[in-house]
Structure 1
Amino acid sequence: MAKFNSLFQPLEVRRCTIPNRIVMTPMGTNFAENTGEMSFLHIDYYEQRAQGGAGLIIVENACVDYPAGSNGTTQLRLDLDSYIPRMFKLTETIHKHDTKIAVQLNHAGASAVAERINMQPVSASNLPNKKGGATPRPLTVEEINSIVESYAKAAKRAQIAGFDAVEIHCGHSYLISQFLSPLTNNRTDEFGGSYENRARFATMILKAVREAVGPFFPILIRISADEFLPGGNTLEDTLKLLEYFQEEADIIDVSCGLVDSIQYQIDANYLKDGWRTYLATAVKEKFNKPVITVGNIRDPKVANEIIESNQADFIGLGRQFVADPQWPLKVKEGRLDEIRKCISCNIGCSGHRIGLNRPIRCTINPSVNEGEAYKNQKVKKPCNVVVIGGGTAGLEAACTAAEVGCMTFLIEKEDHLGGLSVEISKIPEKKRLRDFPDYLIRRASKLKNLITFTNTEATIPFVEALKPDVIVNATGSTPLLPPIIGLRENIDRPQSSVKGILGMINNIDNYPMDMEGKKVVVVGGGAVGLDVVEFFSNRKAEVSIVEMLPVVGKDLDIVTKVGTYALLEKNHVNILTSTALQEVHPDHFIVKRNDQNEQLDFDYGFVCLGMRSYSPLMKDLTDAFEDKDVEIVNIGDSVRARRIIDGTAEGRNILNTLKTKGYLE
């Protein structure tokens, strides 16, 4: 499309022509073999993104010095020649799609986990690279020289394996970053202190890599342009550091943040599209080199404007490529309404990989590995599917069933589709969440064999009239209201200042922007309660949060958790853990803490104790269809209140139900 023309202009870098300005940035997957070898699952994953139109794919970080430099549960390796053949298979596969491919080379340093590498991690000095992190051992000069050589050898292997470029990771709290940052480098020799000294390790690596790969092979560097931590490198510091080691770099991949500011490194969902482009622009203007900008970029209009206005040369997409491998192709063909925009929830990608050591998954894309191949299946005999509940789980189930040829009926009692996600997205900091139900609704609207009933109560006679072969119950969840004194009498009542999450959302436009001096007490330190805390503490209210467990945010993904804790500290939120709600009154709560009852007065009180499953029709459905050949499945929050990712996966799993019942091959 002409209006996105800037995104699809080629750019030549050292005799390598990158066909467009869209880069898949490196992002760990845990798809590698236990040996560190590229798996065929991995190759399929990257090929999907090449087929989707990426101009350049930068493969996730590969270890150059095993085991000391290893991070992640299953990380790629390039420290031995034996890894070249499978890497060559990858590059050969990607090149079939006119996509260029690079690999990121890395040494974890203090980011390595001692239990995994069976040794004490190494670093620039003995300073941990995160709060509570293990104390590393400072590298000797001899070891530094050996690691420099390891980078050079790994780069040569990458070149032999058919990669078009290599990227040297100099950011994100890994080893080179640990030398660059004053937060992790207190050396007093030639590798510490001044900008030149802290940049010396990076300078040596870049020179060695250039010597290994020759003059015509592109080298990229990834940097944390601003570490966003007190005492860490600012943008101005990084620009000075780059003076010493950018000379051999052809493209600068401009990121930001360290482990303790990971909410900026892996952007929190409240950060707007392209928010950190100013960092890339500053680097571009100073060094007059192509730069990649990143930062929650989902909207093609934002991406195109960045390139068109010369703020950056490439748009880097990481999680967006997990959510929708075909983002570039859909933009190029003008199919913007088909884009599955990443909602930056960080649950299936970062949360799975960093927090749980699982392979990555995606909240909104249940087929990270398989892609759209499921659509090639078609039912071999007529099948009517009735889905009760039009939230995200029900919508995914209905769309999937219709896409493989089922006659599908979706019944929703409200006047709109989208369920709880639509309601939560009304909180300003959560507005990005709305992109997912909107995508599902658009997808559903294009399916002629999917008929939707809104403002409709699902009754047994109505369901029977649709002659179902498969019934999917996806009626969601409702707020949990335990038998606490005064809770039901006061919550969401006109005479009371106490609200639940839905009551808060329904009243959201009535809360003033400046609430300084107002007391807010939120009971419940899970994700929902913390959303309420974020909303009011950002408006300068005096906020207290009450949580029965010893910590708040226990089940949050690692990115959200770090960002939430930073927000709680910044906004001086009063955190009352190991504290239980005893009584609810119109203007105060009685809580029990340290075996003592306390009264918490408030102007606004909120009870957010989580959600519980809501499936009022399941027993009636089971009874009504007991003697009929009808499969009934219960999915999403109506089974148990969980995250969107669980319901989306279960919605797609209707394919398994259809296979079991003989409707699909």
Structure 2
Amino acid sequence: MTIDLDPPKVKIDPLAPARLGPVTLRNRVIKAATFEGLTPKGLVTDELIEFHRRPAAGGVGMTTVAYCAVAPDGRTAPGQLQWTDETLPGMRRLTDAVHAEGAAVSAQIGHAGPVAASKYIGHPALGPSRQFRMTTQNFSKPATKADIARITEGHVQAALRAIDAGFDAVEIHFGHNYLISSFLSPRVNKRKDEYGGSLENRARFALETARAVRDAVGDRIAILAKLNMDDGAPGGFWLDESIQVAQWLEADGSLDALELTAGSSLLNPMYLFKGDAPLREFAAVMPQPTKLGIRLVGKHFLKEYPYRDGYLLEDAKQFRSRLKMPLVLLGGITNKAVMDEAMAEGFQFVAVARALLRDPAMVDKIRADETTRSLCNHCNKCMCAIYGGTHCVLNPRPADPPARTS
């Protein structure tokens, strides 16, 4: 008798139901968090609800509301959502609308830290250390231990409010050099206390926050985290350290899944997106002197990277080989073939952003015809639309998928 030492992998259908912590999703496709720019007064609007209802009606397993700040100083814009008693009724209307279409809904929670625009939100931007941000021309203020404790508790309260508002999951933001991600980065974090220096110290904030949220919510809601694999900047957070942090998070058992991302809103924002860098469009929507700066030196900050489907897969595979926990693949998920490839490589979920802006019904169209491909051309002009309501500039008012009747 022969024994197959390398049995074939079970083929996983990305459009079949899947378990995420305590939640069962109708498929493995998640609409990734994409800042919507649809809450000018910091409250849920009908436009925000419709923004998430459309992909829900179009077939996604779960949509993610972004970005929900855990404190007033954690916002990147004055009208950004934050968790207060005043926002809860609107949040409940949103979750009810998504659930009515048969999808689950997640809330991305976090603190912008040095990415916050202090002169617009009326609060100093916090960071692990003093840091100048070119796009807003201001310095961040080093977070005190009291700030760290306050913001950790802010994440706890946000998750508890998410339960009250009917969310199925929360996604903790450990990416893009937002506050907790900036603590992870050796380039940004120059602290000399127990939150700086060694990787163990730099990861302390992330691990403490994830554990505090899990202790507070138990298994009443799924908990994901979005973790940078690579800041895309010399001297920043890199794969070897990120894999170790992911292993610590897995060992702690605080997360139900990890979504892998890349890039730094402080140091290299285009590193995540790949494709065109829309310099002219960014300059057009920015105030002075940022507008002039983008025109003069923008090409050195908003760099272009070639696009290909599944462009984060090769780096993400290094995490898959070192971890057992469920992983979410992000980046260039535009058709069934790349979804199938992700499943074959052992990823449990895929996250889609720009392709669903182009066509919120993409998932249902793929279900009807597996050869369907996204019409997104990766021009990235949608990035500039966040200041007036995020949308695909090629299809500013897409036809709504029909509401589901069952």
Range class of TM-score, shorter chain:
0.7 to 0.9
Of residues 355, 360, 365, the one that matches 2:390 is 360
Asked if 1:317 is matched to 2:352, the reply is yes
Aligned residues of 1:128 and 1:184 also touching (Cα < 8 A): no
Of residues 331, 341, 346, the one that matches 1:305 is 341
TM-score between both structures, scaled by the size of structure 1: 0.52
Of residues 321, 339, 342, the one that matches 1:285 is 321
Label 1:108 to 1:62 Cα distance change in 2 as closer, same or farther (>3 A).
Answer: same
Aligned residues of 2:335 and 2:366 also touching (Cα < 8 A): no
Aligned residues of 1:226 and 1:235 also touching (Cα < 8 A): yes
Label 1:133 to 1:238 Cα distance change in 2 as closer, same or farther (>3 A).
Answer: farther
Query: What residue identity is the alignment partner of 1:188?
Result: K
Aligned residues of 1:127 and 1:135 also touching (Cα < 8 A): yes
Partner SS for 2:63: strand
Deviations 1:18-65 (A, max 9, x none): 11111100000111141x111111111111110000011111110110
Deviations 1:386-421 (A, max 9, x none): xxxxxxxxxxxxxxxxxxxxxxxxxxxxxxxxxxxx
- For 1:239 and 1:44, the matched residues in 2 are separated by 37
The 5-angstrom pairing of residues 105-124 of structure 1 reads: 105-124=109-128
1:266 shift after superposition = 2.0
- For 2:177 and 2:59, the matched residues in 1 are separated by 31
The match for 2:376 is 342
The match for 1:18 is 25
- For 1:262 and 1:60, the matched residues in 2 are separated by 17
- For 1:334 and 1:5, the matched residues in 2 are separated by 18
- For 1:5 and 1:142, the matched residues in 2 are separated by 46
Q: How many correspondences in the alignment?
A: 360
1:133 shift after superposition = 4.7
The match for 1:430 is none
The 5-angstrom pairing of residues 78-89 of structure 1 reads: 78=83, 80-89=84-93
- For 1:111 and 1:345, the matched residues in 2 are separated by 24
Aligned residues of 1:129 and 1:178 also touching (Cα < 8 A): no
The match for 1:76 is 81
- For 1:21 and 1:372, the matched residues in 2 are separated by 19
Partner SS for 1:91: helix
Partner SS for 2:226: strand
The match for 2:96 is 92
The 5-angstrom pairing of residues 6-85 of structure 1 reads: 6-34=13-41, 36-66=42-72, 68-72=73-77, 74-78=79-83, 80-85=84-89
Label 1:222 to 1:129 Cα distance change in 2 as closer, same or farther (>3 A).
Answer: farther
**312-321 vs 119-128, which deviates more?**
119-128
1:162 shift after superposition = 0.6
The 5-angstrom pairing of residues 122-201 of structure 1 reads: 122-128=126-132, 133-201=137-205
Deviations 1:324-356 (A, max 9, x none): 00110000011745x552111111x20222xxx
Query: What residue identity is the alignment partner of 1:365?
Result: N
1:267 shift after superposition = 2.4
Partner SS for 1:286: coil
Deviations 1:477-503 (A, max 9, x none): xxxxxxxxxxxxxxxxxxxxxxxxxxx
Deviations 1:173-232 (A, max 9, x none): 200111111121000000001111101111111111112211342110001111121101
Partner SS for 1:287: coil
The 5-angstrom pairing of residues 203-602 of structure 1 reads: 203-246=207-250, 247=252, 248-259=254-265, 260-269=267-276, 270-307=306-343, 309-334=344-369, 336=371, 340-347=374-381, 349-353=382-386, 357-368=387-398, 371=400
- For 1:340 and 1:222, the matched residues in 2 are separated by 24
Deviations 1:508-545 (A, max 9, x none): xxxxxxxxxxxxxxxxxxxxxxxxxxxxxxxxxxxxxx
Label 1:73 to 1:345 Cα distance change in 2 as closer, same or farther (>3 A).
Answer: farther
Partner SS for 1:221: strand
**Structure 2 alignment gaps of length 5 or more:** 1-10, 277-305
Partner SS for 2:339: helix
- For 2:65 and 2:401, the matched residues in 1 are separated by 22
1:172 shift after superposition = 0.7
Aligned residues of 2:66 and 2:108 also touching (Cα < 8 A): yes
Label 1:315 to 1:345 Cα distance change in 2 as closer, same or farther (>3 A).
Answer: same
Label 1:303 to 1:73 Cα distance change in 2 as closer, same or farther (>3 A).
Answer: farther
Deviations 1:275-305 (A, max 9, x none): 1112332223322111111112213212222
1:134 shift after superposition = 2.1
Partner SS for 1:215: coil
Partner SS for 2:269: helix
Aligned residues of 1:224 and 1:256 also touching (Cα < 8 A): yes
**Structure 1 alignment gaps of length 5 or more:** 374-665
1:130 shift after superposition = 5.6
RMSD of aligned alpha carbons: 1.9
Aligned residues of 2:78 and 2:121 also touching (Cα < 8 A): no
Aligned residues of 1:225 and 1:235 also touching (Cα < 8 A): yes
Partner SS for 2:260: strand
Specify which structure has the bigger relative contact order, considering alpha-carbon pairs within 8 angstroms and separated by 6 or more residues.
2
Aligned residues of 1:292 and 1:313 also touching (Cα < 8 A): yes
- For 1:226 and 1:70, the matched residues in 2 are separated by 23
- For 1:164 and 1:282, the matched residues in 2 are separated by 29
Aligned residues of 1:111 and 1:174 also touching (Cα < 8 A): yes
Partner SS for 2:139: coil
Percent identical: 29
- For 2:192 and 2:30, the matched residues in 1 are separated by 39
- For 1:280 and 1:11, the matched residues in 2 are separated by 20
Label 1:341 to 1:74 Cα distance change in 2 as closer, same or farther (>3 A).
Answer: farther
- For 1:131 and 1:29, the matched residues in 2 are separated by 20
1:240 shift after superposition = 1.6
- For 1:156 and 1:321, the matched residues in 2 are separated by 29
Label 1:144 to 1:229 Cα distance change in 2 as closer, same or farther (>3 A).
Answer: same
Aligned residues of 1:14 and 1:216 also touching (Cα < 8 A): no
Q: Which protein has the larger Cα radius of gyration, Structure 1 or Structure 2?
A: 1
- For 2:79 and 2:136, the matched residues in 1 are separated by 23
- For 1:200 and 1:208, the matched residues in 2 are separated by 12
The match for 2:292 is none
- For 1:364 and 1:221, the matched residues in 2 are separated by 31
Label 1:203 to 1:262 Cα distance change in 2 as closer, same or farther (>3 A).
Answer: same
